[in-house]
Amino acid sequence: MDPMQEECKPGAPEWVVTFGDMMSLLLCFFVLLLSFSTMETERFKIIAGYIREAFGVQVDYHYTEIPSGNTVVTVEFNPPVPGKPMIFKKISDIIHELELDTLVEAEQEKDGVRIRMDGALVFPPGSAQLSPDAVPFLEHVAKVIEESYADVVVEGHTDNAPIHSSVFPSNWELSAARAAAVVRFFESRGIPGFRLQAVGYGDTRPISENFTEEGRRKNRRVEILIKTRKAP
């Protein structure tokens, strides 16, 4: 036997053991990647809970079976959307808080919650420039709209008294400009434009007679329809 030749030790070489450990870890890693890519979200919740416990994170409950209902994606990325009764209550509370009961009213209807504002509160006579008195109320309404993820239709209405000015040749232009002014206000407060719509009805949809000043005052109004939807 050559004295210079190193005697082979019994068992596998040390480098083979290290190499085998590395291969095992890589195999586990790719198996986990594959399992995560195909795992149902509810099963992932259960496994994630066990992993948290393994690392010493305390939880208040344990899953003993796959829970039913909303998935992780639904809960995390699609939070519950306020329904019609909740939105109506919020708007009603705002009206009472700002003491606008004689100038603003809210009601629930099939498509959502309708807010009816007296024209004298929102705009000066013959103008489409928002009145400062209406801004606090519209600020609160904008927050409710933002929280509800709802589509909104703003309607402008006038009485039947003709208007002839260099800016507004008729009530059509005036009512549309007033609706657009409210829409622009909401957009400036962060409501996406694709959720907003402005409609001018002129004097075609009165809610009272136009033979008295009180009736004409009621017809001069701006209505906001918050179109509630079901949670996804």
Domains (range + CATH), the chain: 14-77 (no CATH), 84-227 (3.30.1330.60)
Tell me which H or E stretch contains 198. strand 196-200
Residue 196 has pLDDT above 50, yes or no: yes
pLDDT of residue 43: 60
Reference 92, options 114, 110, 111; nearest CA is 114
Cα dihedral 210, 212, 216, 219, rounded to 10, equals -70
| Average pLDDT of span 84-97 | 94
| Average pLDDT of span 180-204 | 95
Q: Which range has the worst mean pLDDT, 4-8, 25-29, 104-108, 118-122?
A: 4-8
Residue 37 has pLDDT above 70, yes or no: no
Q: Hey, which residues does 197 pair with through a beta bridge?
A: 153
| Number of Cβ atoms within 10 Å of the Cβ of 42 | 16
Residue 51 has pLDDT above 80, yes or no: no
Q: How confident is the model at residue 40 (pLDDT cuts 50, 70, 90)?
A: low
| Average pLDDT of span 68-83 | 55
Paired tokens of 192: 């996406």
Residue 138 has pLDDT above 70, yes or no: yes
